[in-house]
Amino acid sequence: MIEPGGYIKDILGKSGGVSASAHGWVKTRRDSKGVSFLQLNDGSSFADLQIVIEAGSIEEELLKHVTTGACVRVDGDLVDSPGGGQTVELKAKEIYLFGEADPTTYPLQKKGHTMEFLRDIAHLRTRSNTFGSVFRVRNALARAIHNFFQRNGFLYVHTPIITASDAEGAGAMFGVTTLDLQNVPRVKEGDKKGHTDYSEDFFGKPAFLTVSGQLEAEIFALSFSNVYTFGPTFRAENSNTPRHLAEFWMIEPEMAFCDLAGNMALAEKFLKSVIAEVMDTCAPDLEFFNKRIDDTVLSTLDHVVNSDFVHITYTEAVQILEKSGQTWEFPVGWGIDLQSEHERYLTEQTFKKPVIVTDYPKEIKAFYMRSNEDGKTVRAMDVLAPRIGEIIGGSQREERHDVLVEKIVGQGLQLDAYWWYLELRKYGSAPHAGFGLGFERLMLYLTGMKNIRDVIPFPRTPGSAEF
């Protein structure tokens, strides 16, 4: 029987004088006179286990195949290590070769590959130091997020991935269909004549991959008070930026009995909590990022955990940008949507810490955000972070039935598509608020990685879905 467990992480926590058995992939091999050293890693920790093979202890023919990339099990004696860099090492008595890796073709034979090259070998990049750390941090971040919400009494709700109402702005949505694209059924008569006949499709109407679980999360908030989603979302926007993916993960808390101020307070508490937890559980990985990827990672994270976020209104933000004397690619004026260059200026130049911008013009924000008394702005908030720009977008929701009807109609949307959303305002409505956090945006922040394609296992971007 081969059981899971026996991680290198646990072996490294022991002291010498016991026998041990480790499996993993050979990261490097170094031969010197009379002895060979392997760095063995099984993904359980940043640190490798050093294997010492004394000449004659392992059959030569077998040892020839134990090269970088090979998968082995090593049985031997754990001894206190005389060399620096590790406390124990494993003196090999027996080696089982599970899978060799031909050194003449193994792509990770040498170090120092570009991120672009590694992206093309997403089936192997997970064995590199960088991606080992990325995905351990990703795991720790997911756990920290669940921990935060569970500790605070939030219910985890699984909102649907396929949505049949095109309620959220169909422009950027992927269609889901079982219709034969070579032979699409057409409507035979009436004013829709010639259009695709979706009554023959799987759901009897057009269906899409979700862009957000918010509207469904609101249903749950208005029964369970505090809830959150954590799932994949999809956007067919053709934006080839280092911050956008076509498939990404989103965390969306939704709180009944909560207003914009409460929403801001939760967002700040949440970010500080999850960052602190990852710093606590993944210290060696974060140190690696700080050393090899971006030497401001640790100081920035420390700063975020220990500083109060700045609160400004959109109107104040525009004034700061107008007075900045900067030349912008996208000119600034009241009413514009803040672009990444503006967001980064506010967080990196003006305040040098995370900034929450609130009360945006209603024209540039979604219909469901609560209207302010001025008639011009809505209770929206964006949390902006140095280096990344927008990391969270949220709002207090419009809970007044009649106002919401006006807003839907005013934005030229179809009232009947929102029938259930409106009924929530008819039966037991409550003030409520929530936000959406892009999981991979927060990953960029934690790791200092430059491209969002390098913090998700298998990135989906325009023209690319190989793995």
Q: How many residues lie near ligand ATP (CB under 6 A)?
A: 14
Residue 436 binds ligand ATP (CB under 6 A): yes
Query: In this chain, which of 29, 91, 127, 244 binds ligand ATP, going by CB under 6 A?
Result: 244
What six digits make up the tokens of 33?
A: 């006179």
CA 297, CA 73: separation in Å to the nearest integer? Answer: 36
Q: Nearest distance from residue 157's CB to ligand ATP, in Å? A: 17
Residue 235 binds ligand ATP (CB under 6 A): yes
Stretches 17-25, 71-79, 177-185, 386-394: which one binds ligand ATP (CB under 6 A)?
386-394
Q: Nearest distance from residue 7's CB to ligand ATP, in Å? A: 32
Query: In this chain, which of 48, 440, 449, 453 binds ligand ATP, going by CB under 6 A?
Result: 440
Stretches 41-49, 146-154, 199-207, 244-252: which one binds ligand ATP (CB under 6 A)?
244-252
Backbone angles phi, psi at 377, to 5 degrees: -120, 165
CA 246, CA 237: separation in Å to the nearest integer? Answer: 7
Stretches 60-68, 85-93, 345-353, 387-395: which one binds ligand ATP (CB under 6 A)?
387-395
Would you call 152 exposed, middle or buried from its count of C-beta atoms within 10 A (0-12, 13-18, 19+)?
middle
CA 193, CA 183: separation in Å to the nearest integer? Answer: 16
CA 462, CA 129: separation in Å to the nearest integer? Answer: 27
Question: Which candidate, 301, 344, 311, places its Cα nearest to that of 443?
Answer: 301
Query: In this chain, which of 26, 58, 207, 245 binds ligand ATP, going by CB under 6 A?
Result: 245
Site map (CB under 6 A) of ligand ATP, residues 391-410, x = contact: xxx-----------------
| Edge-to-edge strand ranges of the sheet holding 247-256 | 155-156, 226-234, 247-256, 432-438, 389-396, 377-385, 355-361, 310-313
> How many CB atoms within 10 Å of residue 239?
12
CB nearest ligand ATP: which residue? 438
Q: Nearest distance from residue 294's CB to ligand ATP, in Å? A: 19
CA 81, CA 84: separation in Å to the nearest integer? Answer: 8
Residue 169 binds ligand ATP (CB under 6 A): no
Q: Nearest distance from residue 380's CB to ligand ATP, in Å? A: 9
Question: Which candidate, 463, 444, 467, 464, places its Cα nearest to that of 455?
Answer: 444
DSSP code string of 25-57: EEEEEEEETTEEEEEEE-SS-SSPEEEEEETTS
Give Rg (Cα) of the chain: 27
Q: Nearest distance from residue 450's CB to ligand ATP, in Å? A: 14
Query: In this chain, which of 344, 441, 453, 460 binds ligand ATP, going by CB under 6 A?
Result: 441
Query: In this chain, which of 132, 213, 438, 459 binds ligand ATP, going by CB under 6 A?
Result: 438
Residue 390 binds ligand ATP (CB under 6 A): yes
Measured from the CB atom, the residue of 135 and 248 that comes closer to ligand ATP is 248
> Any idea what the Cα angle at residue 69 is, between residues 103 and 87, rounded to 5°?
125
What six digits make up the tokens of 86?
A: 């590790």
Residue 446 binds ligand ATP (CB under 6 A): no
Q: Nearest distance from residue 250's CB to ligand ATP, in Å? A: 5
Chain residues binding ligand ATP by CB under 6 A are: 235, 244-245, 248, 250, 390-393, 436-438, 440-441
